[in-house]
Structure 1
């Protein structure tokens, strides 16, 4: 891992007089998160009129702040020529439609061949950003929209929007069982107490809220529109399983494969062949980091999910 070092300076305005130094830094250098600025303060990379100070020190106005910016280059993740379906790109952000099977970033068992590797090949400058600008993720077998930051300022803005639950995210899902109506699942999610690779609804978990609405009902399944208020790991998969309507094809939360009573041969074949969770991030809306304007994108559900739905419609007719 190497570092890129930049030197920045700014004069503290009188409007900041009386504020803590870390608060003033957040105003003067908005491209960096407050936690990162505080870390640089601790490491001695910030001086006030040539002297090192603490985060809690008050400023009076007129002082010269000099900042030594240390940006880590994540060289352990190598660029790889992996094709990307780019939905939108400008100087600040990149929006892609992630296919099923693509892991978002390297981890144990997936050292390369990931979205992060692909991003570094597409835009080498992303090496200066944490995880090549990735601020949220989709599971390997979930398809759909992801936004990536291309600058430190965009990264900070997107992270703040995520924390403030300002993103609008809409999914499409096919679940087992026939739902009579839509609803809300408001249940905390944390690590499963026994199966550590799984998440679960647990009292000690983080707050999680999922809204769902019925789009179409079949003999043994339901097609849903799902909106997230929070973004916990495996949130939709866990919440749907929690209310006893697991996602079709979910290998982790779907339980033992069952053939619905009276299913047509075509539906049986389609269900046996559907080897990943039927979940797609169809719509994404957010505030553009640079312009402040609301921007949004949507992509159609993937072909295999469309085929699955069509087979379910035909099963209704056959029945």
Structure 2
């Protein structure tokens, strides 16, 4: 047995520091499950798979708004490094893929767009794969409290902020369900916490009780703001899980 990051370094012919960084970023999996502990001991015969991080692709651009296809494992704020004249309008979790919007900082459109989010007038639709069989549509209306101590984690609490998620099952495969989630509010980890609260955590969401996987199976599928509507197709990795 040997430490995981050392074995990975040997397999990929990289330094121990580079190998540890890949594991810490959640980019390394073994047997289809994300490797989370770099110093954990594994067999020398272990075969590692490294998730390739794609570059964000432009869905649409005009003088007011930039719609991007955010890859999984890219921090939202890092998108501005690719597009330095633009700023984030909203955020997605690091492992969440899909549509994300950027704007020109402090522009009139920026001010109006922020008000649309604040007034819950923005349509936000996600796709997710959850553990278990969810056969009926459900509306989850539970307040969410977020605690930030080094990293953010949320929970259902009467002391939290109002949060509403509408969940519709789309396809069942084995003991997993592909669902559509539409959120009226935008609390931290809202969909993840709400689904976990009904015993259907998102596949790959080990923070909230989901089964281990190579990534969090959550995708920002569609967003509508004013007269703009943008969508991103279901990731191919979803199709390999839901058959």
TM-score w.r.t. length of structure 1? 0.56
Match of 2:222 in 1: 283
Match of 1:176 in 2: 131
Residue 149 of structure 1 contacts residue 158 of structure 1 at CA under 8 Å; is this kept in 2?
no
Alpha-carbon separation, structure 1, partners of 2:122 and 2:90: 11
Match of 1:102 in 2: 74
Residue 131 of structure 2 contacts residue 175 of structure 2 at CA under 8 Å; is this kept in 1?
yes
Residue 96 of structure 2 contacts residue 218 of structure 2 at CA under 8 Å; is this kept in 1?
yes
Structure 1 residue 254, shift from structure 2 partner? 2.2
Match of 1:36 in 2: none
Aligned residues: 189
Structure with higher RCO (Cα < 8 A, 6+ apart): 2
Q: Residues 12-51 of structure 1 correspond to what in structure 2 (within 5 A)?
A: none
Structure 1 residue 229, shift from structure 2 partner? 0.3
Alpha-carbon separation, structure 2, partners of 1:193 and 1:233: 10
Alpha-carbon separation, structure 2, partners of 1:308 and 1:219: 10
Match of 1:144 in 2: 98
Alpha-carbon separation, structure 2, partners of 1:194 and 1:243: 25
What is the RMSD of the two structures over their aligned residues, measured on CA atoms? 2.0
Match of 2:162 in 1: 207
Match for residue 90 of structure 1 among 62, 86, 94:
62
Match of 2:199 in 1: 244
1:299 maps to 2:235? no
Match for residue 109 of structure 2 among 132, 151, 154:
154
Residue 88 of structure 1 contacts residue 96 of structure 1 at CA under 8 Å; is this kept in 2?
yes
Considering only CA atoms, is the larger Rg found in Structure 1 or Structure 2?
Answer: 1
Alpha-carbon separation, structure 2, partners of 1:246 and 1:194: 22
Question: What's the secondary structure of 1:252's corresponding residue?
Answer: helix
Alpha-carbon separation, structure 1, partners of 2:148 and 2:75: 25
Structure 1 residue 192, shift from structure 2 partner? 4.7
CA offset digits 1:229-258 (Å, max 9, x no partner): 000110000100011100001131125x4x
1:308 maps to 2:241? yes
Match of 2:182 in 1: 227
CA offset digits 1:164-206 (Å, max 9, x no partner): 1111111111100111201110001112599963111111111
TM-score w.r.t. length of structure 2? 0.73
Is the alpha carbon distance of 1:96 and 1:193 closer, same or farther for their aligned partners in structure 2, counting shifts above 3 Å? closer
Structure 1 residue 116, shift from structure 2 partner? 2.3
5+ long unaligned stretches in structure 2: 1-53
1:115 maps to 2:79? yes
Alpha-carbon separation, structure 1, partners of 2:193 and 2:153: 9
Question: Greater strand share, 1 or 2?
Answer: 2
Alpha-carbon separation, structure 2, partners of 1:156 and 1:222: 38
Question: After TM superposition, which residue ranges in structure 1, 4 or more long, deviate above 3 angstroms?
Answer: 192-197
Question: What's the secondary structure of 1:237's corresponding residue?
Answer: helix
Alpha-carbon separation, structure 1, partners of 2:64 and 2:149: 42
